[in-house]
């Protein structure tokens, strides 16, 4: 359960917010020349406080005149444009991607010196969450250790999802449309909420910019990274399908291939009446067992202590397995053990990845619920991806492994405290790709 | 870097800025060398291949050098060292700017400027950002040049030229010249008018703050006068009206009105040891004081209005004041050298003085001949230059007057630093220009060097007539200093400040002076009106008050009568049902009426019987309302019941138990 920061911290972070807004407004409103001359004005005002000592007051007066005229010019500068985004279906966290901004000049005059700022919104609780993380360690200089503003800023940026640079718009004639590429590197997985596009245009002196905010709410999902998985252990192994009930709801699991004499115990619905009539003795249809590949991926969201890095790696492992190319008749089921255990039938991989992208870790233990669900439903190759391992889990999963031959527990990040088992695979969060590459070889679990 | 978010200055502009700084800031050689070095890369084909580490070393060296320079300046000049630092900023940052100019990147990395950025860049957690130092260097040169000696119009031209260059480089793509040029011209005009206004504002604020400070915090020391001798820059005083002087005849020459005189000069401050003030006896009847014996000869009468912020203040008096008359002054005190203090209620104090030929104060003391040791050499040099030794007092006076008149000029501006902190020596021997305090102080010292007792006097030079005030006014900028010399048995004012000073001060009047004069006149009139009202006889005031009361009473008379005649509305008559009229009439007769908005049930329940008869009361109220609101009224039987119940309540006194009727 989240806790509110102390009142003193709340005041500090309100100040952070104010400084950040001021800084953003300043960087958008002032051009590079405007910023330089504003600093010069400040210096001139300080040194010109006593007109008897220097002429700096005259310099300050000239600069003040420039900014007043610029402010008047800004009032008369209102860019008239329409903006539209062309977003990709998905982007991957921490990987460079891009999208397009289509800007159309709806005014009567050619638009020069336009700048587009695409704004990402953060959740209302994000600043508070950012505030909490700002009190954690990790500062790299004494100022940040003491004040925490830079850490808060970095956390806020992560909460928003990406840091977008402004986009320069070339000269845009009336009625013309330009398609501009915007690079984006998501700083986290999850939904990136776009709020608006701010269009800036310089006034004639080039010191200030007029701003127009165009609300344009859209969302982009940043999915966890995926890595190649050359082979999955237990998939397409007929030994796993011999006497087990297979596909349940996707059609018959038996194929008719012949007739034979009736034997006591055969179901009467298998009687072949035509042949019975011909022969005078009961004849039953003979069926052969069919089977399909089935992969079950269980994502265990339990983390006693939130660890975003490990959880990202866990989701990367789960996503990599879930999106590995498979046969057309290979069925995939993803179980998410979070607040509750829910199942995702994987039709489109994008929907699955989007769901994985938005998962959050939970604090309550989930392995019993996972075991119960797998005991009831697990068939085929089953991969439990977890980052938690303790003395209570080993016997539970051990029993499960005895019942579900295709079970593999992929332990991401946590040291193993039990004896190594063939069904237990350890993956280093920093080397997920290497861990997945060797998955088919199922290296022994690391001991603590 | 993005195309839109940076602006590039031509190399020539950067070099020209350095040269301009050198020219204006008195560092011509350094400025020209720097300009040449900055321009040289344009002629060279090679560039230095520099690593970030080279920039880091250059930046660290620059920082250390700047810190050492700052310490040197503050140590040598105290807080004024900030202006020295300002003047030297371009040289301080020159190493980095030169390095960027000769490098391949033509820029400096941001990590060279901040350790925190450097740490992150080296750790690979932040990208390197390259900055063009040209525009920032030009801005610093301009700022440094503002601390130079260039007079205002030339500095304006220089600033306009450099700012123009910056704005040309910053002009957005696609902006045509007409709107840009128009904006620039408007900005320049606005800037010029703002600059002029800032000077006035500064002087006005200073004056206002000083007045506020003097009125609320500062306890003035009447025994010393701190001069502006040695203070650099332009001496600026405000246009605020300080004195109003009414004469019987128009003035033919500026009238010198002295507040005090002093004897000892040290470190820019004149002081006196005559700190003891003795009360001057008023003439019989009060309100008049004789300050000097009556003497034959014409007498002049002046009326002076003086704003007094404290109960005790110095009284500015013309030389030769014999008698003082005022009904506002409570007491007059005088010290051994003739300075006069007055005790009066704070506010506008008016007094009348009679002047004429007089000694002008007590005879000189030993302190009136003392020459400070540090100025002895300079005085000897000047004395030898003008042949002062051995002259008779009158001749010496004439020589000294001629010396200042012919070889000195009036100026409100002081520039440059005075070696050994002896500004008067520099004034006498080198600069030979200054304001009245210089002239007065130097005259006093020269007179003493010639053996003539002399004092330093401060006050006002009155020459401006105001038609609005119908009086001569002395403003803050008319504050003046002069010398007093004891010659032929009396004190004579010796004013060696060029007569031009008054005209120069008048020329310095602001365009908005008429506004402040109007305000000052209104304030003065209001103050006089308040005094007049306070001075009125109490009987007259009482009479006026009584008359007002009578008029008010006559006006209100009709309304009061109307109120009393109107009887309160008869409650019983308003009741729609006659059955309860007797009940309410009986209650009203006892002075019991329902409160505004009170229902019949609440009223009766409040007044009438005890709890045991609450049932009858409820029955009565129910019957009343049914009779009132039922079409056709109550049936006969219930109406009779209502009437009977009401009659029973009429008989019962309030608070008593009702007899059972049925």
Q: For B430-442, how does the pLDDT look when each residue is reduced to its tens digit (9 = 90+)? A: 888 888 888 999 9
Report pLDDT for B660. Answer: 30
Distant-in-sequence, close-in-space partners of A231: CB < 8 Å, separation ≥ 6: A439, A440
Contact flag B187-A62 (C-beta cutoff 8 Å): yes
Distance CA A202, CA A445 (A): 62
Residues B589 and B520 in one domain: no
Domain tally for chain B?
Answer: 3
Hey, how many other C-beta atoms are within 10 angstroms of the C-beta on A441? 10
Contact flag B146-A39 (C-beta cutoff 8 Å): no
Distance CA B86, CA A336 (A): 66
* B30 to chain A, closest Cα gap in Å: 21
Hey, how many other C-beta atoms are within 10 angstroms of the C-beta on A96? 10
Picking from A31, A55, A69, the nearest residue to B187 by CB comes out as A69
| A57: nearest CA partner in chain B | B195
Report pLDDT for B416. Answer: 56
B414 vs A179, residue with greater confidence: A179
A101 vs B638, residue with greater confidence: A101
Q: Is residue B140 in some structural domain?
A: yes
Mean pLDDT of A73-96: 89
* A40 to chain B, closest Cα gap in Å: 6
Contact flag A61-B148 (C-beta cutoff 8 Å): no
Q: Is residue B359 in some structural domain?
A: yes
Among B146, B170, B194, which residue terminates a domain? B170
Q: How confident is the model at residue B379 (pLDDT cuts 50, 70, 90)?
A: very high
A74 touches chain B (CB under 8 A): no
Owning domain of residue B22: 11-170
A96 touches chain B (CB under 8 A): no
Picking from B139, B150, B180, the nearest residue to A40 by CB comes out as B139
Distance CA A161, CA A165 (A): 13
Residue-wise pLDDT tens digits, A368-414: 888 888 877 766 788 889 988 887 888 888 888 887 777 888 889 87
**Of A219-228, A337-346, B36-45, where does mean pLDDT reach its minimum?**
A337-346
Residues B20 and B103 in one domain: yes
Chain A residues touching B195 at Cβ < 8 A = 57-58, 61-62
Residues B495 and B594 in one domain: no
Q: Calculate the dihedral angle through the C-alpha atoms of B99, B105, B110, B116, rounding to the nearest 10 degrees.
A: -90
Hey, how many other C-beta atoms are within 10 angstroms of the C-beta on A386? 26
The answer to whether A199 touches A118, Cβ cutoff 8 Å, is no
Q: How confident is the model at residue B588 (pLDDT cuts 50, 70, 90)?
A: confident
Hey, how many other C-beta atoms are within 10 angstroms of the C-beta on A339? 11
Residue indicated by tokens 């360690």? A137
* B66 to chain A, closest Cα gap in Å: 17
Mean pLDDT of B218-223: 58
**Of A341-345, B155-159, B200-204, B481-485, where does mean pLDDT reach its minimum?**
A341-345
Domain with CATH 3.40.50.410 in chain A: 294-437
Residue B517: pLDDT over 70: yes
Q: Is residue B115 in some structural domain?
A: yes
Beta strands in A381-443 (DSSP E): 381-386, 407-412, 424-427
Q: Is residue B181 in some structural domain?
A: no
The answer to whether A300 touches A390, Cβ cutoff 8 Å, is no
Residues B273 and B385 in one domain: yes
Chain A residues touching B199 at Cβ < 8 A = 51, 57
Q: Is residue B562 in some structural domain?
A: no
Distant-in-sequence, close-in-space partners of B481: CB < 8 Å, separation ≥ 6: B227, B436, B437, B439, B440, B441, B456, B457, B458, B459, B497
Q: A294-437: what CATH class?
A: alpha beta
The vertex-A179 CA angle with A174 and A181, nearest 5°, equals 140
Chain B residues touching A203 at Cβ < 8 A = 172, 183
Picking from A52, A61, A66, the nearest residue to B234 by CB comes out as A52
CB pairs below 8 Å between A and B: how many? 183
| A141: nearest CA partner in chain B | B116
Residues B377 and B511 in one domain: yes
Chain B residues touching A70 at Cβ < 8 A = 183, 187
| Most B CBs within 10 Å, among A39, A41, A52, to test the B interface | A52
Q: Is residue B565 in some structural domain?
A: no
- The rounded Cα A267 to chain-centroid distance in angstroms is 52
The answer to whether A353 touches A223, Cβ cutoff 8 Å, is yes
Residues B288 and B419 in one domain: yes
Contact flag A112-B175 (C-beta cutoff 8 Å): yes
Q: How confident is the model at residue B6 (pLDDT cuts 50, 70, 90)?
A: low
Query: Which among B258, B256, B279 has a CA at the least distance from the CA of B502?
Result: B256
Residues B479 and B583 in one domain: no
**What percent helix, strand, coil does chain A show, rounded to 5?**
35, 30, 40
Q: Is residue B203 in some structural domain?
A: no
Residues facing A56 on adjacent strands = none
A442 touches chain B (CB under 8 A): no
Contact flag B179-A204 (C-beta cutoff 8 Å): yes
**Of A343-357, B79-93, B420-434, where does mean pLDDT reach its minimum?**
A343-357
Most confident segment among A279-288, B209-218, B334-343, B406-415: B334-343
Residue-wise pLDDT tens digits, B324-351: 999 889 999 988 888 898 998 878 899 9
Average predicted confidence (pLDDT) for chain B: 81
| Most B CBs within 10 Å, among A37, A39, A55, to test the B interface | A55
Residues B621 and B498 in one domain: no
Query: Which among A203, A199, A198 has a CA at the least distance from the CA of A74?
Result: A203
Answer yes or no: CATH 2.60.40.10 is held by domain A7-223: yes
The answer to whether B473 touches B509, Cβ cutoff 8 Å, is no
Phi and psi at B72, nearest 5°, equal -60, -45
Phi and psi at B140, nearest 5°, equal -65, -40
Chain B residues touching A71 at Cβ < 8 A = none
| B156: nearest CA partner in chain A | A58
Picking from A110, A168, A205, the nearest residue to B180 by CB comes out as A205
ipTM score:
0.71
Report pLDDT for B274. Answer: 73
Picking from A62, A110, A143, the nearest residue to B188 by CB comes out as A62
The answer to whether B614 touches B621, Cβ cutoff 8 Å, is no
Mean pLDDT of A218-247: 66
Beta strands in A148-293 (DSSP E): 167-169, 177-184, 190-202, 209-223, 254-261, 283-289
Mean pLDDT of B581-595: 78
Picking from B152, B172, B191, the nearest residue to A202 by CB comes out as B172
Residue B111: pLDDT over 50: yes
Hey, how many other C-beta atoms are within 10 angstroms of the C-beta on A22? 10
**Of A216-225, A274-283, B294-303, where does mean pLDDT reach its minimum?**
B294-303
B296 vs B415, residue with greater confidence: B296
A173 touches chain B (CB under 8 A): no
Residue indicated by tokens 């800031």? B25
Residues B477 and B583 in one domain: no
* B469 to chain A, closest Cα gap in Å: 31
* A84 to chain B, closest Cα gap in Å: 22
Judging by beta carbons within 10 Å of its beta carbon (0-12, 13-18, 19+), is residue A111 exposed, middle or buried?
buried
Chain A residues touching B7 at Cβ < 8 A = 31-33, 206
Contact flag B235-A52 (C-beta cutoff 8 Å): yes
Report pLDDT for A292. Answer: 59
Q: What part of A 51-70 touches B (C-beta under 8 Å)?
A: 51-66, 68-70
A139 touches chain B (CB under 8 A): no
> How is residue A51 written in tokens?
């007109």
Report pLDDT for B535. Answer: 67
Contact flag B183-A69 (C-beta cutoff 8 Å): yes
Chain B residues touching A61 at Cβ < 8 A = 191-192, 194-195, 198
């Amino acid at each position: 359960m989240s806790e509110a920061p102390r009142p003193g911290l709340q005041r500090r972070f309100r100040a952070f917010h104010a400084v950040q807004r001021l800084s953003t407004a300043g960087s958008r409103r002032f051009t590079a020349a405007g910023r330089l001359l504003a600093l010069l004005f400040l210096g001139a005002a300080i040194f010109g406080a006593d007109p008897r000592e220097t002429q700096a007051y005259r310099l300050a007066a000239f600069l003040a005149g420039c900014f007043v005229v610029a402010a008047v010019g800004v009032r008369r500068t209102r860019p008239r444009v329409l903006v539209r985004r062309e977003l990709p279906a998905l982007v991957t966290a921490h990987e460079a991607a891009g999208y397009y901004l289509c800007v159309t000049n709806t005014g009567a005059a050619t638009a020069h010196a336009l700048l587009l700022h695409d704004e990402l919104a953060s959740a209302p609780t994000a600043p508070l969450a950012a505030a909490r993380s700002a009190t954690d360690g990790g500062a790299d200089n004494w100022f940040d250790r003491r004040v925490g503003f830079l850490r808060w800023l970095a956390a806020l940026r992560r909460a928003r999802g990406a840091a977008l640079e402004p986009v320069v718009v070339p000269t845009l004639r009336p009625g013309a449309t330009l398609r501009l590429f915007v690079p984006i590197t998501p700083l986290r997985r999850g939904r990136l909420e776009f709020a608006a596009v701010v269009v800036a245009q310089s006034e004639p002196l080039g010191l200030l910019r007029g701003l127009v905010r165009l609300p344009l709410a859209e969302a982009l999902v940043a999915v966890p990274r995926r890595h190649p998985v050359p082979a999955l252990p237990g998939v397409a192994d007929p030994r796993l399908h011999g006497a087990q009930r297979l596909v349940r709801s996707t059609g018959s699991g038996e194929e008719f291939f012949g007739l034979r004499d009736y034997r006591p115990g055969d179901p009467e619905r298998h009687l072949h009446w035509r042949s019975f009539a011909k022969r005078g003795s009961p004849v039953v249809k003979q069926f052969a067992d069919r089977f399909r590949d089935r992969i079950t991926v269980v994502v265990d969201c339990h983390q006693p202590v939130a660890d975003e890095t490990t959880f990202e790696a866990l989701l990367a492992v789960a996503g990599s397995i879930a999106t590995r190319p498979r046969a057309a008749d290979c069925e995939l089921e993803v179980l998410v053990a979070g607040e509750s255990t829910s199942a995702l039938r994987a039709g489109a991989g994008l929907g699955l990845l989007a769901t994985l992208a938005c998962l959050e870790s939970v604090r309550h233990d989930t392995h019993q619920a996972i075991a119960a669900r797998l005991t009831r439903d697990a068939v085929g190759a089953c991969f439990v991806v977890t980052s938690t391992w303790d003395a209570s889990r080993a016997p539970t999963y051990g029993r499960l492994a005895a019942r579900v031959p295709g079970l593999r527990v992929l332990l991401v990040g946590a040291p193993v405290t039990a004896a190594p088992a063939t069904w237990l695979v350890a993956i280093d969060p920093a080397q997920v790709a290497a861990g997945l590459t060797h998955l088919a070889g199922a290296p022994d679990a690391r001991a603590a | 870097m993005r195309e839109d978010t940076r602006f590039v200055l031509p190399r020539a502009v950067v070099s020209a800025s350095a040269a301009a700084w050198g020219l204006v800031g008195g560092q011509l050689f350094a400025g020209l060398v720097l300009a040449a070095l900055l321009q040289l890369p344009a002629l060279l084909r090679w560039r230095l291949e520099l690593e970030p580490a080279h920039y880091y070393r250059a930046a660290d060296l620059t920082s250390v050098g700047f810190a050492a320079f700052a310490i040197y300046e503050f140590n040598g000049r105290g807080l004024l060292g900030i202006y020295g630092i300002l003047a030297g900023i371009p040289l301080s940052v020159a190493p980095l700017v030169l390095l960027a100019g000769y490098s391949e990147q033509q820029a400096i990395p941001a990590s060279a400027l901040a350790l925190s950025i450097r740490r992150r860049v080296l750790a690979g957690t932040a990208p390197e950002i390259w900055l063009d130092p040209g525009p920032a260097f030009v801005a610093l040169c301009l700022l440094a040049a503002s601390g130079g000696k260039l007079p205002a119009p030339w500095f304006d031209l220089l600033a306009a030229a450099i700012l123009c260059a910056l704005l040309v480089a910053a002009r957005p793509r696609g902006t045509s010249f007409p709107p840009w040029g128009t904006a620039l011209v408007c900005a320049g005009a606005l800037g010029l008018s703002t600059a002029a206004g800032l000077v006035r504002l500064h002087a006005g604020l200073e004056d206002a703050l000083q007045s506020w400070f003097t009125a609320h915090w500062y306890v003035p020391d009447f025994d010393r006068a701190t001069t502006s001798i040695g203070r650099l820059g332009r001496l600026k005083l405000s246009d605020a009206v300080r004195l109003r002087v009414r004469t019987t005849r128009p003035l033919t020459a500026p009238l010198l009105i002295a507040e005090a005189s002093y004897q000892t000069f040290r470190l820019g401050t004149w002081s006196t040891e005559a700190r003891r003030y003795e009360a001057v006896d008023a003439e019989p009847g009060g309100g008049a004081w004789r300050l000097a014996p009556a003497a034959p000869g014409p007498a002049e009468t002046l009326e002076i209005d003086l704003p007094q912020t404290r109960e005790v203040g110095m009284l500015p008096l013309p030389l030769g004041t014999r008698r003082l008359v005022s009904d506002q002054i409570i007491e007059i005190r005088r010290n051994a050298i003739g300075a006069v203090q007055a005790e009066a209620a704070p506010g506008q104090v008016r007094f009348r003085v009679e002047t004429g030929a007089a000694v002008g104060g007590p005879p000189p003391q030993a302190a009136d001949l003392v020459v400070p040791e540090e100025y002895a050499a300079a005085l000897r040099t000047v004395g030898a230059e003008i042949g002062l030794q051995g002259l008779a007092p009158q001749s010496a006076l004439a020589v000294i007057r001629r010396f200042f008149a012919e070889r000195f000029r009036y100026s409100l501006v002081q520039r440059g630093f005075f070696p050994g902190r002896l500004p008067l020596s520099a004034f006498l021997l080198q600069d030979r220009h200054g304001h009245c305090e210089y002239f007065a102080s130097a005259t006093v010292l020269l007179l003493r060097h010639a053996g003539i007792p002399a004092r330093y006097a401060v006050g006002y030079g009155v020459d401006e007539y105001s038609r609005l005030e119908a009086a001569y006014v002395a403003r803050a900028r008319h504050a003046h200093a002069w010398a007093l010399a004891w010659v032929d048995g009396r004190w004579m004012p010796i004013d060696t400040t060029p007569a031009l000073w008054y005209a120069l001060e008048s020329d310095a009047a602001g365009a908005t002076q008429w506004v402040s004069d109007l305000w000052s006149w209104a304030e003065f009139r209001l103050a006089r009106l308040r005094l007049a009202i306070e001075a009125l006889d109490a009987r007259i005031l009482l009479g006026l008050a009584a008359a007002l009361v009578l008029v008010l009473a006559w006006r209100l008379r009709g309304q009061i009568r109307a109120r009393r005649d109107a009887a309160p509305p008869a409650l019983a008559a308003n009741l729609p049902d006659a059955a309860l009229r007797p009940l309410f009439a009986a209650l009203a007769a006892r002075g019991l009426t329902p409160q505004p908005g009170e229902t019949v049930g609440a009223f009766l329940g409040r007044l009438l019987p005890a709890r045991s008869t609450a049932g009858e009361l409820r029955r009565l109220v129910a019957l009343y309302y049914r009779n009132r609101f039922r079409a056709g009224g109550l049936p006969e039987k219930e109406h009779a019941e209502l009437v009977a119940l009401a009659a029973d309540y009429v008989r019962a006194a309030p608070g008593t138990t009702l007899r059972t009727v049925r």
